[in-house]
Amino acid sequence: MKLDPKRSSYLPTPATLKRKEKLSEHVSLFVFEPDNGTLLGHKPGQFIMVSVYGVGEAPFSVSSAPVPDSKQFELAIRRTGTVTNAIHELEPGDRIGIRGPYGTFFPVQEFMGKDTLFIAGGLGYIPLRSLLHYQLRHRDEFGRIIVLVGTRNPRERIFTDQIMELGKRPDVEILETVDQPDQCWEGHCGVITTLLPKVDINPENTYVAMVGPPVMYRFVLSGCEDKCIPQDRIYVSLERRMKCGVGKCGHCQINGLNSCIEGPVFRYDRIAPLKEAL
């Protein structure tokens, strides 16, 4: 959204829930639209602050791609606490407050003409979905799209219908795995790093976009190193606990970097030396 320099950066803008959809036992998709009729104006990888009136405020990555002719945007949210529980109780027509979008984003211009390897662990698919859908909307401008998705178990998989449709596209290569299969799971088993040997890439023509739980990064980055992917072609999103969203409170600092304004999307070679980053 276009920011008014006279308006406090802490003052939320009202938005209305248009639709919600259950994705798994604890995760639902929420479609909102700003009440002032403006575009959210986000870029893939950015986040917004969502406030539920009388309850509190929390940051969430935008999961939808920016679309010039649509004022609606999507958030996929897991129940984890007071604010997220309150959001899950919302019904279409209910209103929230939003601030942002904030933070850095995946450099889509840099990715153009190149192959992209998406690596999504757990809920990491949510922010990567914005970049993935952007590339699909501008398919001719990008090279191969390779998507690796890892989930703890089949019950926690999200966007299953969309992932199945992606698997049918000839221009998308998608591999999925679960750590702990159940009796019905017929796909690949193992942590997400077990998918890396299955993909053949050109390291000089490939960018990596990865988001996942902290424990995932060290092992996946080692796998990327084995494939000779340069560090300056790897982008990671580090979702620390943003509180203010504007670099004032210091709650999300990583060795002096404010993750809310200098992140959450970082080029790997810029944070590799920071002990607290990964």
DSSP 31-47: EEEETT-------TT-E
Stated length of the chain: 278
- pLDDT tens digits for 196-245? 999 999 999 999 999 999 889 999 999 999 999 999 999 999 876 777 77
Enter the pTM of the model: 0.93
Q: Which amino acid, one-letter code, is at 30?
A: F
At the topology level, CATH places domain 108-270 in Rossmann fold (3.40.50)
pLDDT at 6: 67
Buried b (16+ CB within 10 A) or exposed e, 147-185: bbbbbeebebbbbeeebeebeeeeebbbbbbbbeeeeee
Predicted confidence (pLDDT) per residue in 15-56, tens digit: 999 999 999 999 999 999 999 999 999 999 999 999 999 999
Answer whether 92's CB lies under 8 Å from 20's CB.
yes
Q: 13-102 — its CATH code? A: 2.40.30.10
**pLDDT tens readout for residues 82-116:** 999 999 999 999 999 999 999 999 999 999 999 99
CB 49 within 8 A of CB 64: no
Q: What is the mean pLDDT of residues 174-194?
A: 95
CA 100 to chain centre: 16
Q: Which residues are annotated as a binding site for [2Fe-2S] cluster?
A: 244, 249, 252, 260
Domain spans of the chain, in order of start = 13-102, 108-270
Structure confidence at residue 5 (pLDDT): 62
Residues making up the annotated binding site are 244, 249, 252, 260
How far is CA 236 from its chain centroid? 10
